[in-house]
Amino acid sequence: MLAPLRGKGKMVMVPTMGALHEGHATLLRQARALAGSSGTVVASVFLNPVQFNDSNDLAAYPRTPEADMDTCRSCGVDVVFMPTPEVMYSGDRSITVEENHLSTVLCGASRPGHFAGVCLVVGKLFNLVQPTDAIFGKKDYQQLAILRRLVRDMDFPVTIHGAEIVRGEDGLALSSRNALLTPEHRAAAPCIRKYLLEARDAYESGAAAAAVCAELRAKLESIPGVQADYVELVDAETLHEVTDEKRLCLLAVAAWFGKVRLIDNTELSR
């Protein structure tokens, strides 16, 4: 639909759900650099209801459309696609797009239907915008891995790029959910990164994966009010058990800080 806007160069897309922060801005600037002066950068801002399995989570999600437009403008975005749910979805929609292997673990285990909602909306966005390239953050590493599968298995002519996690000075991965933390939990949250790095060092020095994960979980749960959802060391591509230690691996964490669920991860190898 937006393809006619595309000139000879690349059309680089950055899908987002809005409430844009410096993490998103970094992706947008990377998109601008990738597209170059002859290319086009498209940001989508769409709070996709289909990927929320908890209506309270959707209701609490921050919405800042005007500030989002300013951010897009200052990052050199050419086109902002900001549809309403009614534009995106027919009331009697009946097609699902489900990935059935990578989606069963990590966040997929505790958020049923979430990644089917992500695959549906990203598939639709790719059809509507027809980008040559799309950038997704490694902050949502599982999402990135699943979308690589979506593109491979559904033959979308889009090159997927993974962007490194953008962090605050204290090491906490930037997220719109950080603003929902209590002051105590906000102060404690940078420990996630610290403990991840300690765990990565231990694994890369030869410690067993199970022991590394157990220790990381125990450290996180020693923080008052913190409950780990998962702490897992998996193959970075399949997101399942490590069968070849020489391949790139992923140490991924999800933890409840009170009512706020935070995720973070690090790649590792040995």
Residues binding ligand AMP (CB under 6 A): 16-17, 23-24, 27, 136-137, 139-140, 163, 165-166, 173-175
How many Cβ atoms are within 10 Å of 85's Cβ, its own excluded? 11
For residues 188 and 263, which CB has a smaller minimum distance to ligand AMP in the complex? 263
Q: CA-to-CA distance for 154 and 100, rounded, in angstroms?
A: 14
What is the chain's Cα-based Rg? 19
For residues 132 and 143, which CB has a smaller minimum distance to ligand AMP in the complex? 143
Distance between the two ends of the chain, CA-based, in angstroms?
46
Instruction: Give backbone dihedrals phi and psi of 185, rounded to 5 degrees, phi first.
Output: -70, -30
Active site residue 24: yes
Cβ of residue 191: shortest distance to ligand AMP, in angstroms? Answer: 17
Q: CA-to-CA distance for 122 and 156, rounded, in angstroms?
A: 11
For residues 46 and 195, which CB has a smaller minimum distance to ligand AMP in the complex? 46
Structure tokens at 61: 């999600």
Cβ of residue 165: shortest distance to ligand AMP, in angstroms? Answer: 4
CB 268 within 8 A of CB 256: no
Cβ of residue 222: shortest distance to ligand AMP, in angstroms? Answer: 25
Cβ of residue 166: shortest distance to ligand AMP, in angstroms? Answer: 4
For residues 150 and 209, which CB has a smaller minimum distance to ligand AMP in the complex? 150
Q: Which of 24, 114, 161, 240 is catalytic?
A: 24
Residue from 51, 47, 76 nearest 63 by CA: 47
Residues with Cβ within 8 Å of 155's Cβ and at least 6 positions away in sequence, in order, are none
3 state SS for 17-63:
CCCCCHHHHHHHHHHHHHHCCCCEEEEEECCCHHHCCCHHHHHHCCC
For residues 2 and 28, which CB has a smaller minimum distance to ligand AMP in the complex? 28
Chain residue at closest Cβ approach to ligand AMP: 137
Cβ of residue 206: shortest distance to ligand AMP, in angstroms? Answer: 30
Provide the annotated active-site residues. 24
